[in-house]
A and B are shown apart, each in its own frame.
Chain A
Amino acid sequence: MDLCGLTIHQLRELLTQKAVSAAEVTSAYLQRIQSIDSKLHSYLEVFAKEALKQARDFDEGKRDFNLSPIAGIPIAVKDVLCMRGVRTTCGSRILENYVPPYDGTVIEALRNAGAVFVGKTNLDEFAMGSSTENSAYCQTRNPWDLDRVPGGSSGGSAAAVAANLCAGAIGTDTGGSIRQPASFCGVVGLKPTYGRVSRFGLVAFASSLDQIGPITKDVKDAALLLQILAGYDRRDSTSVQSPVPPYGERLEESIKGLRLGIPREYFVEGMDPEVAEAVEKSIRICGELGAEIIEVSLPHTEYGVAAYYIIAPAEASSNLARYDGVKYGLRTPDCRDLLTMYRTSRSRGFGPEVKRRIMLGTYVLSAGYYDAYYRKASQVRTLIRKDFLEAFQRCDALLTPVSPIPAFKVGEKSEDPLQMYLSDAFTLPASLAGVPGISVPCGFTSQGLPIGLQILGPHFREDLILRIAHQFQQATPECRRTPPLNEDP
């Protein structure tokens, strides 16, 4: 039996029936990681010994499988979440040897739920990027085509899930960093509403945008992982005290009668025709499933990229000031004075994309520029949010492409940051508005590259977008494939 190809809920069933042991499941994943991750580089660190020990605790009855639907199941975590006692590098040299003294809230929740942590996955440095090319450590490859990027910044998590190197993974999304790699790798990725999941323990990139969410093999898994992640946390003032519904409960309900909006601004010139075709087909399928399809407008969409690339770098420039060589992380030795220590530690510790964003952010917050950039971008952000609120007066959810293009080649855009930024145009507005979004596989290009459908819902309506995504997925079994990766003999 190919244990690694199974979803979390399928593994759950086998474990409950005692058809397999948790140790067998974990060993299978560890073996597969060992044999094929040298091609993918999805993991930065694998906790082979600890993972097996965690799994055996369940087999030996020290821990109870009834703890939660993910008890005893191997989960991978993006290396931007603090886990007590193991390195959290954020894909950066500056935190190469940083070991947090605490568990973040999400890690604590997963631990309490009995997750088996298989390892930390690769990412763009400090989650800044759309290709995972900005990691200081390695270049993660797309399991569907090793010459292509897996997307980013949660590229390691998406690639690991797609390549069956874990049962499910945790990613983070600031401007599309869960949804876009999920779409590039042909898996499911959910960005929750801002405030739905605690950020305590998530190393901040842009605090007003960052959210933690699941990357999984199917929608059902995304629902059950979100159930564990979601909830108010008094350690995060921006987390919201709204009740957490049972996400799995209404997945099977038909979407008949739902009104689904198609924002015309998301279907633009220059979009890859195969992507456009796949998304249009997906819209028809939803119509066939009984949803009413209507056209809507989100008029400020075109300003999303500009607003995002002011707000996110502004916050990042401040969030990353703490990496100064004084307390932890990289400090260049033998500096004559304080300024030299700051300058050389940060020059050597950060990669080019991070530096670019620190400079952008510093600039837009500077005296004399604040009003023209940061304040203006914040005002635009309010308008974008209003666009969504108004659209959701007319429809229950929105259907859009995740990315205008499928996975691109390694190196193809890394020399042209602007092109890279523009490819996030469809994921950024939802981040700015704080609404939840899910990426679900909806087809393949002629070259065999996955395409993703984005479903956006009103604030705190993860239940609704999960239900639409699940119904869509049930209707399109042909969109769920496994990449043709062979294990080394």
Chain B
Amino acid sequence: MTYEPVIGLEVHAQLLTRSKIFCGCSTTFGASPNSHTCPVCLGMPGVLPVLNRSVVEYSLRMALATHCRIAPYSQFARKNYFYPDLPKGYQISQYELPLARDGWVEIRTEAGIKKIRIHRIHMEEDAGKLVHDEYQPVSYVDFNRTGVPLIEIVSEPDIASPEEAATYLRTLREILRYLEICDGNMEEGSLRCDANISLRPTGAKFLGVKTELKNMNSFKNVQKALEFEIRRQSALLERGEPVVQETRLWDANRNITVSMRGKEEAHDYRYFPDPDLVPIEIDADWIQTVRSSLPELPDAKRNRFMDQYGLSSSDADVLTSSRSLADYFEAVVRAFPQPKTAANWIMSELMRELKKDDCEVEDCPVSPDNLVELLSLLDSGTVSGKMAKGVFEEMYATGKTASTIVAEKGLKQVKDAGTIESLVEEVLSENTVEVTQYRAGKEKLMGFFVGQVMKKSKGKANPQMVNEILRKKLRG
């Protein structure tokens, strides 16, 4: 029998607000342990949480960008469990009344556009971090991350393959980054993903027994863990053995999932409404304000790039893969209205250099204006295409402008017919044997003559003119 997977993802995104969700402490990553703490986030006796309004706004952005229905009235709840990184003994989250429900995003699959429905989006606080001593049986707690705001985005089980899961996750990340509410870094944990997966006979309508997968800290691992789990579950089903409902951890070293806890050991979180926080009421005005502040989202931008600039869908994909890259492209095109040339330069030269340095386009040493200047020099024939590439590398390395580099290196193209003629004559007189051969019909030698002239001009002669003049002289 063949089986098909049914997959749903729970994605946690750390929000980029300046302060924590329930106190004024900084959310900056990487400070010395416990330096970003106060009695409130440390859960000291007697303290109370106060909701950070920006967290609601950031969450609303994502909810609106994913077409969710915003609850006019939502509520925080306590999720109770003991762990040393959880100072209050409960996490403030949302349970019965989440901020938003019933949204969707579109992902692009090989078979075309597919809608993945969003079940809910809710707000919650992050926990701290345990640090285990390598040499002694001692553990330390760092509460800097405690209270950093998170949203949890729960999909419906609409995902049909590990590839789709990865695409869905990338799509969410793209949106989060476009909205500038999450940096989307999976390795650093600012974007985290758990997956629920079950198998059923292909075409069946019922759902099989699912497992929950955790600990996948990259796109690749999400895909690999799901692939492994499909193999594992289908082997069980093939043998007629049941799949056990449980939570499994992805072991990236061994490339397998291992059982973490079964259904019986599952926590009873004893959720109940947090009496320290009043319900969140969101009116139509607030929703409208947030909606009108939303930037153009990846899908819309991609389509517009195709329509407005005549780009291919794959070029539009690349150029809209981040909001800053798209902005860069548009800044260039505004001053240099040849979209295809601009696109090619950005996708090949610029992105190659950025990739070499592992650098983001925001930090690119070549500003859009500088690239425009170079492209204009190329367009006017002041520099050749080949030279322009060299100039670009120099611009990237030194931050200098194209015209400065061209002037400094005397790279201006030679377009003076007299100068080129005398170079051609020199070459012809130095290579009489080849001239004779050429005239006898060995026309392949043309390339050789051009090369010699270019060499003499240190590459500055206009190649078209060199060709023309050579042809004329050789005929004569």
B270 contacts A237, C-beta separation under 8 Å: no
Contact residues of B between 36 and 85, Cβ < 8 Å to A: 39, 42-51, 78, 80, 82, 84
Closest to B277 in A: A237
Contact residues of B between 231 and 289, Cβ < 8 Å to A: 268, 270-272, 275-278
A322 contacts B48, C-beta separation under 8 Å: no
A237 contacts B46, C-beta separation under 8 Å: no
Residues of A within 8 A of B270 (CB): 317-318, 362, 365-367, 370
User: Contact flags (1/0) for A7-32 with B, using CB distance below 8 Å?
Assistant: 00000000000000000000000000
Q: State A297–B449 Cα separation when bound (angstroms).
A: 113
Q: State A365–B277 Cα separation when bound (angstroms).
A: 19
A326 contacts B48, C-beta separation under 8 Å: no
Residues of A within 8 A of B276 (CB): 204, 207, 237-238
Closest to B80 in A: A318
The smallest C-beta distance from A55 to any residue of chain B, in angstroms, reads: 27
Residues of B within 8 A of A362 (CB): 270
Residues of B within 8 A of A326 (CB): 84, 87, 141
Q: State A328–B48 Cα separation when bound (angstroms).
A: 17
B48 contacts A237, C-beta separation under 8 Å: yes
Is A324 an interface residue, CB under 8 A from the partner?
yes
**A100-B44, A318-B78, A322-B45 known; A238 vs B88 contact (CB < 8 Å):** no
Is A49 an interface residue, CB under 8 A from the partner?
no
**A82-B45, A88-B45 known; A327 vs B87 contact (CB < 8 Å):** yes
Is B396 an interface residue, CB under 8 A from the partner?
no
Is B90 an interface residue, CB under 8 A from the partner?
yes
**A207-B276, A365-B272 known; A100 vs B45 contact (CB < 8 Å):** yes
The smallest C-beta distance from B244 to any residue of chain A, in angstroms, reads: 20
The smallest C-beta distance from A248 to any residue of chain B, in angstroms, reads: 29
**A98-B45, A202-B46 known; A322 vs B89 contact (CB < 8 Å):** yes
Question: Which listed residue, A88, A102, A207, A234, touches B39 by the CB 8 Å rule?
Answer: A102
B80 contacts A237, C-beta separation under 8 Å: no
B46 contacts A318, C-beta separation under 8 Å: no
Question: Which listed residue, B43, B44, B275, touches A207 by the CB 8 Å rule?
Answer: B275
B90 contacts A318, C-beta separation under 8 Å: yes
Residues of B within 8 A of A328 (CB): 44-45
A321 contacts B272, C-beta separation under 8 Å: no
A-B contact count (CB 8 A): 99
Contact residues of A between 406 and 445, Cβ < 8 Å to B: none
A321 contacts B88, C-beta separation under 8 Å: yes
Residues of A within 8 A of B87 (CB): 322, 326-327
Residues of B within 8 A of A100 (CB): 39, 44-46
A236 contacts B45, C-beta separation under 8 Å: no
A237 contacts B78, C-beta separation under 8 Å: no
Contact residues of B between 14 and 53, Cβ < 8 Å to A: 39, 42-51
- Which secondary structure dominates chain A's binding surface? loop
Q: State A199–B275 Cα separation when bound (angstroms).
A: 12
Question: Which listed residue, B39, B90, B268, B278, touches A367 by the CB 8 Å rule?
Answer: B268
B48 contacts A200, C-beta separation under 8 Å: yes
Q: State A90–B78 Cα separation when bound (angstroms).
A: 23
User: Contact flags (1/0) for B322-350 with A, using CB distance below 8 Å?
Assistant: 00000000000000000000000000000
Q: State A370–B46 Cα separation when bound (angstroms).
A: 26
- Which secondary structure dominates chain B's binding surface? loop
A201 contacts B46, C-beta separation under 8 Å: yes
A321 contacts B46, C-beta separation under 8 Å: no
Closest to A90 in B: B45
Residues of A within 8 A of B272 (CB): 314-315, 318, 365, 370, 374
A235 contacts B89, C-beta separation under 8 Å: no
The smallest C-beta distance from A309 to any residue of chain B, in angstroms, reads: 16
Q: State A208–B82 Cα separation when bound (angstroms).
A: 22
Contact residues of A between 73 and 120, Cβ < 8 Å to B: 81-82, 88, 90, 95, 98, 100-102, 104
Residues of B within 8 A of A235 (CB): 48, 50
Residues of B within 8 A of A203 (CB): 45-46
Residues of A within 8 A of B89 (CB): 318, 320-322, 324
Closest to A233 in B: B48
Q: State A102–B45 Cα separation when bound (angstroms).
A: 10
B46 contacts A200, C-beta separation under 8 Å: yes
The smallest C-beta distance from A141 to any residue of chain B, in angstroms, reads: 27
The smallest C-beta distance from B55 to any residue of chain A, in angstroms, reads: 14
**A342-B82, A362-B270 known; A315 vs B275 contact (CB < 8 Å):** yes
Q: State A335–B89 Cα separation when bound (angstroms).
A: 19
Q: State A441–B88 Cα separation when bound (angstroms).
A: 40
The smallest C-beta distance from A357 to any residue of chain B, in angstroms, reads: 14
Residues of B within 8 A of A101 (CB): 39, 44
Contact residues of B between 275 and 333, Cβ < 8 Å to A: 275-278
Contact residues of B between 116 and 161, Cβ < 8 Å to A: 141
Residues of A within 8 A of B50 (CB): 234-237
Residues of B within 8 A of A98 (CB): 45
A237 contacts B268, C-beta separation under 8 Å: no
User: Contact flags (1/0) for A199-241 with B, using CB distance below 8 Å?
Assistant: 1111110111000000000000000000000000011111000
Residues of B within 8 A of A207 (CB): 275-276
Since A200-B46, A322-B88 are in contact, a sample of 17 more A-B pairs with Cβ atoms closer than 8 Å, ordered by chain A residue number, is: A82-B44, A82-B46, A90-B45, A102-B39, A199-B48, A201-B47, A203-B45, A234-B50, A237-B50, A238-B48, A315-B272, A315-B275, A322-B89, A328-B45, A367-B268, A370-B272, A374-B272
**What are 6 A-to-B residue pairs whose CB atoms are below 8 Å?**
A82-B44, A201-B46, A317-B270, A322-B88, A327-B43, A366-B268
